[in-house]
Amino acid sequence: MMIESGFFNRMKKLQVIRMLGSGMDIGELNEYAYEICFLLIQNIFLRELRENHHRTRDDMLFITEKILQDMDLLYSKEEVERIVDGTLWYREPTKQEGFKTRVYHETTRTKEEYIFRYFKVDREHSHWEQGGSTVYMLTEESQEMIFITREILEEFGFNLEQFYTLQLIKTGNFMKARNSIDNLMARVRVLINREKEYRRDIIRDPQNIFFDRSIRGKKSEDEIKGQFEEEQKVFANMFSWRNRYDVLPEDKKQEAEMMFENLEGARLLHDSLAKHVMENLALELEIRVKYPESFWNISSFSFKKDIWQNHIVKNGLRDIEDLEKVVSPLFSPKTEFIYPLEWAWSEQMIKQKRSIKKEEDMTLEDGWKFRETDWELLIELYEEIFTALLENGRFSILELNKKSEEEKGKWLRQRENVDLFMMFVISKVTLDMNHSGEDERLRLFKGLCSKNPIFKELHGKKILSKIEDAEETFVWKELFISPYTIYIEE
Tell me which range, 334-338, 414-418, 434-438, 454-458, is most confidently predicted by mean pLDDT.
Answer: 454-458
> Is the model more confident about 60 or about 261?
60
Give the pLDDT confidence score for residue 19 in this predicted structure.
92
Picking from 191-200, 348-357, 429-438, which range would have the lowest pLDDT averaged per residue?
Answer: 348-357
Contact (CB, 8 A) for 87 and 119: yes
Tell me which range, 94-103, 147-156, 348-357, is most confidently predicted by mean pLDDT.
Answer: 94-103
> Is the model more confident about 67 or about 287?
67
pLDDT at 340 exceeding the cut of 80: no
Give the pLDDT confidence score for residue 212 in this predicted structure.
55
Contact (CB, 8 A) for 239 and 166: no
> Average of pLDDT values for 197-209?
75
Of the pLDDT bands very low, low, confident and very high (cuts 50, 70, 90), residue 356 is very low
Give the pLDDT confidence score for residue 439 in this predicted structure.
77
pLDDT at 64 exceeding the cut of 90: yes
Contact (CB, 8 A) for 53 and 123: no
DSSP-assigned beta bridge partners for residue 369:
363
Give buried/exposed letters for 240-274 (b at 16+ CB in 10 A, else e): eebeebeeeeeeeeebbbebbebbbbbbbbbbbbb
> Average of pLDDT values for 244-261?
81
Nearest Cα to Cα of residue 445 among 378, 395, 398: 378
> Average of pLDDT values for 263-276?
85
pLDDT at 149 exceeding the cut of 80: no
> Average of pLDDT values for 270-287?
84
Angle between helix axes 416-426 and 250-290 (nearest 10 degrees) is 140
Contact (CB, 8 A) for 420 and 439: no
> Average of pLDDT values for 146-160?
56
> Average of pLDDT values for 262-291?
83
Mean pLDDT score of the chain: 79
Give the pLDDT confidence score for residue 294 in this predicted structure.
60
Give the pLDDT confidence score for residue 335 in this predicted structure.
57
Q: What is the pTM of this model?
A: 0.41
pLDDT at 105 exceeding the cut of 70: yes
Give the pLDDT confidence score for residue 100 in this predicted structure.
92
pLDDT at 16 exceeding the cut of 60: yes
pLDDT above 90 coverage of the chain, percent: 20
Q: What are the residue ranges spanned by the domains of the chain?
A: 7-148, 158-295, 328-490
Query: Residue 125: how many CB atoms within 10 A of its CB?
Result: 18
> Average of pLDDT values for 217-229?
70
> Is the model more confident about 59 or about 253?
59
464-475 per-position pLDDT tens digit:
888 777 667 777
Of the pLDDT bands very low, low, confident and very high (cuts 50, 70, 90), residue 360 is very low
Of the pLDDT bands very low, low, confident and very high (cuts 50, 70, 90), residue 402 is confident
Measured CA to CA, the distance from residue 54 to residue 441 in angstroms comes to: 49
Give the pLDDT confidence score for residue 61 in this predicted structure.
94
Give the pLDDT confidence score for residue 293 in this predicted structure.
61
Chain CA centroid to CA 94, Å: 44
Chain CA centroid to CA 458, Å: 36
> Average of pLDDT values for 297-325?
73
Give the pLDDT confidence score for residue 115 in this predicted structure.
94
> Average of pLDDT values for 6-19?
89
Question: Which backbone phi and psi does 424 adopt, to 5 degrees?
Answer: -65, -35
Identify the H or E element spanning 160: helix 158-170
